A and B are shown apart, each in its own frame.
Chain A
Amino acid sequence: MRTEPGGCCCRRPVRANDCVANGEVRNGYVRSSAASAAAAASQIHHVTQNGGLYKRPFNEGFEETPMLVAVLTYVGYGVLTLFGYLRDFLRHWRIEKCHHATEREEQKDFVSLYQDFENFYTRNLYMRIRDNWNRPICSVPGARVDIMERQSHDYNWSFKYTGNVIKDVINMGSYNYLGFARNTGPCQEAAAKVLEEYGVGVCSTRQEIGNLDKHEELEKLVASFLGVEAAMTYGMGFATNSMNIPALVSKGCLILSDELNHASLVLGARLSGATIRVFKHNNMQSLEKLLKDAIVYGQPRTRRPWKKILILVEGIYSMEGSIVRLPEVIALKKKYKAYLYLDEAHSIGALGPTGRGVVDYFGLDPEDVDIMMGTFTKSFGASGGYIGGKKELIDYLRTHSHSAVYATSLSPPVVEQIITSMKCIMGQDGTTLGKECIQQLAENVRYFRRRLKNMGFIIYGNEDSPVVPLMLYMPAKIGAFGREMLKRNIGVVVVGFPATPIIESRARFCLSAAHTKEMLDTILFPYRLLQRSE
């Protein structure tokens, strides 16, 4: 573990609630519970500035937007909106050709399917830089990928494939943290064998006749990987959240959800019928205040006590690159007797010295997290999701989860891929490949973040997170960045409104253990030309 002095290594002003300034503990709660944490006899190796709960320095920063940049961004959006209105006007009066599809003649007197205004942003802003998304590829989504070239002759309204393939583009967009997205090697061979034997589909649900022996094997392995009593797997990561949260909470319960939670968590919370309250992103004071108020004042209007309180957080937030403050959340949860649902979609396999996720990263006990959820899409190179926890929880989910009753189970070759890659990470396949991948990823993350910071770019998120958002801010830069990078054979992901706040558009890099230092240097080289002068 690095032993940098506690606090952020930031030279610029930062938002107070997200980062600890030099020497000061801003998070007042931590100071008061340091005594109780010490009494709980968790081994504290470093008494860092963040209080006795953290065994390693927690360096996270979200630099403030510079004033000039914010103003210019708003001006940029203003100009685009004006042009948008102008174009809509021209299209309405048929001066400009209307490219998008229209309703059938027979149904023109039906109530229109879409509101005109809803699509204003899509028509006038998104359409112009649409070529940066949905880029089709035709090879393994590994460290290098082949992108199919497309052309548009009508400003991105329609695309034609030229037939050319842009080969060996460095892939900074796929969630391939440990490099298991491969079409050769032990994982692929095992999956091929199972495919021959079992076929591809399952054609039934878990509770009927779709529960294969492979699924039971996988669930035992997942439980031992996470260090929990039992686990259950599902066919889709998104559906794991949206179908199991309603099974756990219902009306009369309270859900405390982080501001920046993923759409699947938000949908699951909404479908459950429970009351939802949102706390500021990764802000423990905000969470504590909500917990206190909830228990003291009970349900709104009736004042009855809440049946259960469930805290929804993610391991790594994929748009911000921040890591959840898990030790503090667990301390809060124990104090107020709430339940914790941890979504480790991005952090499983990517964090921690043994790749067991954010619980391993902080050196905590997996039994403290009531419901550990994660997906197999990112670090295991497969698809699907899982939930791990105590045996009573899993028994309940086996009988009451929507997915077990109505949705198809995982496909057998996918199951085999997960089993093989998980065994590799655990070291059970007899090689040290898993350990090497985890170490390589950690090194790549450190190197990449350090180099970008030194060049003067504004990077969000935690120092150890493999998701690196690089701020762009201005709308024109979103399109320009994506296109220029592709010209230099580097594929990046750019994100704008509505996935992010309107002035905080960014480029997001997803580092992988498959990236070599040379690849990272190739990516960093063009940035020297874009570097800010400091």
Chain B
Amino acid sequence: MATVAEQWVLVEMVQALYEAPAYHLILEGILILWIIRLLFSKTYKLQERSDLTVKEKEELIEEWQPEPLVPPVSKDHPALNYNIVSGPPSHNIVVNGKECINFASFNFLGLLDNPRLKAAALASLKKYGVGTCGPRGFYGTFDVHLDLEDRLAKFMKTEEAIIYSYGFATIASAIPAYSKRGDIVFVDKAACFAIQKGLQASRSDIKLFNHNDMDDLQRLLKEQEIEDQKNPRKARVTRRFIVVEGLYMNTGTICPLPELVKLKYRYKARIFLEESLSFGVLGEHGRGVTEHFGIDIDDIDLISANMENSLASIGGFCCGRSFVIDHQRLSGQGYCFSASLPPLLAAAAIEALNIMEENPGIFAVLKEKCKRIHKALQGISGLKVVGESISPAFHLQLEESTGCRERDVKLLQEIVTQCMDRGIALTLARYLEKEEKYLPPPSIRVVVTVEQTEEELEKAATTISKVAQTVLL
């Protein structure tokens, strides 16, 4: 029928125009004019329906008063005046001019003033200077970084490790690299603030389960399974993650990893394990909670830890299979967009790893000391010990709260100050009260290190006991 269409020539079109009735032509003409008018008229913006005049706008601008940039902070805010430490924060620490024994720094293996670490860092300083002057992608990768990543991977018996220049940024960059909008993350209610920030940055669905309660987690996983069956297409592209800590900073308890691994395979969720406190503490060789329970490390998808506790350096690392870790080299925000770790800190971390590998006996020693001080602090009236007996960082909470958090904090701060006067350095566990999802009750943080002797542990126990009696009764 192409030929028929070709015959619709111009002449015949003009003829058709002449033959059409008048009203038809007039109607068509009006329609064409209307279209032209609509095309050229101003677009109708819904937003400016109110159509303020310029003068009214200027008045609004004049009138508007913003809030002050920051609300005023009262002079006696408990966190305003920091304790000033003169000199190194090592075993014998000088806080606010008083000499004390350090029960507050996370220096579990006592490596903070170890001469070998200092020598290694000094050698690195003499070779590389201090800063790296660039991110990893642009001439900020030093052979020291590659060495450290290699050593960490070998130590943890995984395929690959990746280093970050700041402990907080490690887990906070790792989680959003894998979990995106639409994915589901099951996380413990007592997770630390860095995990919370990582989850917030990831924009995923967060489902919280009660602390260390595997039944609660199973309930949530079951509910999710039912949801999946309703919508299998969506379920096929929704990733699931379980985020837990090896040793929880806020409660001093260990996560039940064997049950978690069982749940992982049953409900097909990947496990991200945050081992900042348990790395270099739990396990026969200090490899963390996987060694403690005897679990194959490949069962855990990602282990993240910071080097600021046991390794007495700065920074953090993630380790796991290459399939998982390599992704962070291009999508970990704290890795790609930040300067790399200063080489002297990396060299110190390598030396610390050497020391850990040479003396595997220190972990047993640390456990012994933890058990001893737990027992010694058990009987104090007015304070209760929160945390497992082998956890080197635990809390002392008030047995009976006064009902008001501020007053509780004041009481505990009084205990801390008096302990410091008597030569035991302790600290209040600090939180951002308005930002935490599940704010832990106020507590004193007690940290056990290998450097503390028997006498010092005894002294600490008796001092805290005496001070608690005077303050709380």
Interface set of A (CB-CB < 8 Å, partner B): 100-104, 106-107, 109-115, 122, 126, 133-142, 145, 147-148, 171, 173-176, 180-183, 187-188, 191-192, 195-213, 216, 235-239, 242-243, 248, 262-264, 267, 270-271, 292, 295-297, 305-309, 336-339, 370-371, 375-378, 380-383, 392-393, 395-400, 402-408, 411-414, 417, 491, 493
Contact = CB atoms under 8 A, between A and B. Distances in A.
A402 B193 contact: yes
Contact of A292 (B61, B131, B194): B61
A203 B140 contact: no
A411 B312 CA distance: 10
A493 B66 CA distance: 43
Nearest to B70: A396
Contact of A248 (B70, B111, B201): B70
A196 B122 contact: yes
Task: Specify which of A195, A271, A378 lies most central, judged by the most chain B CB atoms within 10 Å of its CB.
Answer: A195
B165 A148 contact: no
B427 A209 contact: yes
B130 A370 contact: no
A23 to B, nearest CB: 29
Given A102-B323, A413-B344, A493 B139 contact: yes
B89 A174 contact: no
A248 B294 CA distance: 45
A495 to B, nearest CB: 9
Interface stretch (B19-27, B35-43, B77-85, B372-380): B77-85
B107 interface: yes
A181 B308 contact: no
A174 B326 CA distance: 24
A141 B134 contact: yes
B440 interface: no
A307 B67 contact: yes
B73 interface: yes
Interface footprint category on B: 35 or more
A309 B66 contact: yes
Contact of B169 (A114, A209, A239, A309): A239
B146 A136 contact: yes
Contact of B166 (A115, A136, A236, A336): A236
A271 B72 CA distance: 23
30 contacts: A100-B326, A113-B270, A136-B143, A140-B127, A188-B126, A192-B125, A200-B313, A200-B348, A201-B308, A201-B314, A202-B105, A203-B107, A207-B82, A208-B429, A212-B87, A216-B84, A238-B169, A264-B338, A292-B61, A308-B66, A370-B69, A383-B165, A395-B73, A398-B80, A399-B80, A407-B168, A413-B125, A413-B344, A491-B139, A493-B139
A267 B117 CA distance: 35
Contacts of B430: 205, 207-208, 405-406
Nearest 7 CB-CB pairings of A with B: A396-B70, A236-B166, A238-B338, A101-B323, A211-B82, A201-B312, A407-B168
Interface of B: 47, 52, 57, 60-61, 64-73, 77, 79-80, 82-90, 93, 95, 102, 104-107, 111-114, 117-118, 121-122, 125-134, 136-143, 145-146, 165-169, 172, 178, 192-194, 197, 200-201, 235-240, 265, 268-270, 298, 306, 308-309, 311-314, 321-324, 326-327, 329-330, 333-334, 336-339, 341-342, 344-345, 348, 425, 427-432, 435, 445
Contact of A296 (B57, B136, B168, B270): B57
Given A175-B133, A381-B129, A411 B139 contact: no
Nearest to A165: B143
A208 B104 contact: yes
B322 A101 contact: yes
Nearest to A174: B133
Contacts of B336: 263
A204 B111 CA distance: 14
Contacts of A243: 168, 197
Contacts of B178: 113
B168 A403 contact: yes
Contact of B197 (A195, A262, A271): A271
A234 B90 CA distance: 21
A181 B314 contact: no
A145 B82 contact: no
B297 to A, nearest CB: 12
B126 A133 contact: no
B136 A307 contact: no
B432 A297 contact: no
B89 A203 contact: yes
A414 B165 CA distance: 13
A463 B47 CA distance: 41
A396 B64 CA distance: 24
Given A195-B344, A399-B80, A235 B166 contact: yes
Contacts of A339: 66, 69
B52 A296 contact: yes
Given A195-B122, A202-B314, A204-B106, A113 B89 contact: no
Contacts of B312: 199-201, 203
A110 B102 CA distance: 47
B194 A238 contact: no
A248 B137 CA distance: 31
User: Which has the most chain B C-beta neighbours within 10 Å: A142, A182, A395?
Assistant: A395
Given A106-B265, A136-B143, A411-B345, A173 B129 contact: no
A295 B56 CA distance: 12
Contacts of B431: 405
A398 B146 contact: no
Contacts of B201: 267, 270-271
Contacts of B321: 101, 104
A451 B88 CA distance: 51
A204 B344 contact: no
Contacts of A137: 139, 141-143
A304 B426 CA distance: 47
A392 B143 contact: no
B339 A377 contact: yes
Contacts of B126: 183, 188, 192
A392 B107 contact: no
A203 B106 contact: yes
A200 B344 contact: yes
Contact of A395 (B80, B89, B117, B337): B80
A197 to B, nearest CB: 7
A383 B77 CA distance: 30
Nearest to B309: A203
A375 B165 CA distance: 14
A112 B68 CA distance: 48
A307 B66 contact: yes
Contacts of B128: 139-141, 183
Question: Which of B106, B129, B341 has the largest count of A CB atoms less than 10 A from its CB?
Answer: B129
A292 B57 contact: yes
B54 to A, nearest CB: 10
A404 B129 CA distance: 27
A371 B69 CA distance: 10
A52 to B, nearest CB: 22
A216 B431 CA distance: 22
Given A183-B126, A201-B308, A238-B337, A134 B89 contact: no
Given A139-B128, A192-B126, A405-B431, A396 B71 contact: yes
Contacts of B57: 292, 296
Contacts of B64: 295, 305, 337
A46 to B, nearest CB: 31
Contact of B82 (A171, A173, A238, A398): A398
B130 A413 contact: yes
Contacts of A296: 52, 57, 60-61
B268 A110 contact: yes
Contacts of A212: 84-87, 89
B140 A174 contact: yes
B66 A135 contact: no
A377 B130 CA distance: 10
B253 to A, nearest CB: 19
A134 B137 CA distance: 4
B298 A104 contact: yes
